[in-house]
Amino acid sequence: MDYHRNFPEAAFLVVEANAVPIGRLYLHRRSDEIRVVDIALLTEHRGRGIGEVLMRQVIAEADEKRLPVRIHVEHVNPAQHLYDRLGFRRVGDTGVYYLMERSPNNAPLR
């Protein structure tokens, strides 16, 4: 997928640790939602809580603006458990991806 063509207004952020790129976070901030277009970390940086920290920052911004956060997640992606813990719920299913949504201030962050 060509994210730049499909989401020209998105923020294409590089995630770094000690000034070394370790992943990406693409956000499309709209008037009615914050869409996590893509979040990915290099394999050796997964499972360390970095993705959770990033998502908590996105959620805090969305809560402040009273906007939902939405993300498409592959059915087989183990990150679904993280999104469940953060208060996301499944609101759609394309057959390959679930559309997950967290309403503003809808659930306490654990």
Q: Which helix H or strand E contains 102, and what residues bound it?
A: strand 97-102
Tens digits of per-residue pLDDT, 39-84?
A: 999 999 999 999 999 999 999 999 999 999 999 999 999 999 999 9
Residue 106: predicted pLDDT: 65
pLDDT band, very low/low/confident/very high, at 2 (cuts 50, 70, 90): confident
Residue 32: predicted pLDDT: 96
Question: Averaged over 95-109, what is the pLDDT?
Answer: 83
Q: Does the predicted model carry a pTM greater than 0.85?
A: yes
Tens digits of per-residue pLDDT, 17-45?
A: 999 999 999 999 999 999 999 999 999 99
Domain boundaries along the sequence of the chain:
3-102
User: Could you give the 3-state DSSP secondary structure of residue 62?
Assistant: helix
Residue 1: predicted pLDDT: 59
Helices (H) and strands (E) in the chain, counts: 3, 6
CATH number of 3-102: 3.40.630.30
**Can you tell me the distance from the alpha carbon of 82 to that of 84, in angstroms, rounded to the nearest whole number?**
5
Which distant-in-sequence residues (6+ apart) come within 8 Å of 55 by Cβ? 36, 39, 69, 82, 83, 86
**Can you tell me the distance from the alpha carbon of 12 to that of 102, in angstroms, rounded to the nearest whole number?**
21
